[in-house]
Amino acid sequence: MRCNFVDPSTGLTHQEIIDDLQQELAGQASHIYELTKALQESVLLQAHHAELLNMHDGGKRRIFKSVDEWLARMKVEKREKEGQS
């Protein structure tokens, strides 16, 4: 069922507004997906570089196994930083 009432402030029908919002949300969902994939790649690269550097100099750099593990660590660091302020 299509809603064809016109919104006086925009001159668009309610259905046109709904369609525009759905299209915008779809675009945002696609962008979020792309950002998520990029973050996953970044975490994998960080883990690889940390592993190589640890092998090279015997360091103990943190190696994250997943984006969720990295995000959890970022939350801890944020709380620690806020506690120092």
DSSP string, the chain: ----PBPTTTS-BHHHHHHHHHHHHHHHHHHHHHHHHHHHHHHHHHHHHHHHHHHHH-------SSHHHHHHHHHHHHHHHHHH-
Q: Domain-by-domain residue ranges, the chain?
A: 14-84
pLDDT value at residue 43: 96
Type of residue found at 22: Q
Q: Is residue 60 a contact partner of residue 54, using CB atoms and an 8 Å limit?
A: yes
Q: pLDDT 10s per residue in the chain (85 long)?
A: 666 788 888 888 888 889 999 999 999 999 999 999 999 999 999 999 999 999 999 999 999 999 999 999 999 999 999 988 6
The predicted structure's pLDDT at residue 29: 96
